[in-house]
Chain A
């Protein structure tokens, strides 16, 4: 059974204070690892897909990296508008092709 563990559960940062969110996963074979952002009262919004260890992707102040056991979402010089819950999900090669297993998320608060 695929498993995803995200840490920390909550993170408070001062504006400009860089940090990283962790996503540890267990999957028999990785088809893809996804990062989503979720704002209160809204559905998750896609950020990145990573497919193989060593891959990196960037978008504005966010950078996602992937190893064989975990993924990191690095946030550089965050702003208050980056406050949200960040969700990680994995898609394994076994089982239902479109099954995504989500982590419980990291709630990020960036203080001005």
Chain B
């Protein structure tokens, strides 16, 4: 298995632009998570899905952030409009069950200028 696949690996954009991050979870995993990692705040859960349905989006910082999971093999995290404070590494992770360990992707390094 190729593991959790994220794209792009790096994204540099200007303030105000729309950014879309993509994730392909491990096949058969029912849970998908989006995390953000910064030096100041560490790893923070933004949102998670169970069987393609968003369960908890309380970590989404504001309305500029949205996430979708149209099918079991694909999810997106969109930021519109982007701001410099959104600069961080965004991780996608998947899990086969409620108490199971998380499998993380390699992350997307986002820089908003």
* Chain B hits for A49, CB < 8 A: 101
Complex CA gap A20/B91 in Å reads 28
Stretch at the interface among A37-45, A57-65, A72-80: A37-45
* Chain B hits for A28, CB < 8 A: none
In the assembled complex, the CB of B46 is this many whole angstroms from the nearest CB of chain A, namely: 11
CB–CB B104/A43 < 8 A = yes
In the assembled complex, the CB of B13 is this many whole angstroms from the nearest CB of chain A, namely: 20
Within 8 A of A (CB), among B19-65: 31, 33, 42-45, 48, 50, 55-56, 58
Within 8 A of A (CB), among B70-96: 91, 93, 95
Which applies to chain B's interface (DSSP): helix, strand, loop or mixed?
A: strand
* Chain B hits for A102, CB < 8 A: 42-44
The total of Cβ contacts below 8 Å across the A-B interface reads: 50
In the assembled complex, the CB of B48 is this many whole angstroms from the nearest CB of chain A, namely: 6
A14 CB–B CB distance under 8 Å: no
* Chain A hits for B43, CB < 8 A: 44, 87, 89, 102
In the assembled complex, the CB of A106 is this many whole angstroms from the nearest CB of chain B, namely: 12
* Chain B hits for A31, CB < 8 A: 99
CB–CB B101/A99 < 8 A = no
Q: Could you list which residues of chain B lie within 8 angstroms of chain A, going by C-beta atoms?
A: 4, 31, 33, 42-45, 48, 50, 55-56, 58, 91, 93, 95, 98-99, 101-107
Instruction: Using A42-B107, A97-B98 as known contacts, list a sample of 17 further A-B pairs with CB atoms less than 8 Å apart, ordered by residue number in A.
Output: A31-B99, A43-B106, A44-B91, A44-B104, A46-B101, A46-B103, A96-B55, A96-B56, A98-B31, A98-B33, A98-B50, A98-B55, A98-B98, A99-B45, A99-B56, A100-B102, A103-B42
Q: List 20 A-B contacts (CB under 8 A).
A: A32-B99, A34-B101, A41-B106, A41-B107, A42-B104, A42-B106, A43-B4, A43-B104, A43-B105, A43-B107, A44-B102, A44-B104, A46-B101, A89-B43, A91-B99, A96-B56, A98-B31, A102-B42, A102-B44, A104-B42
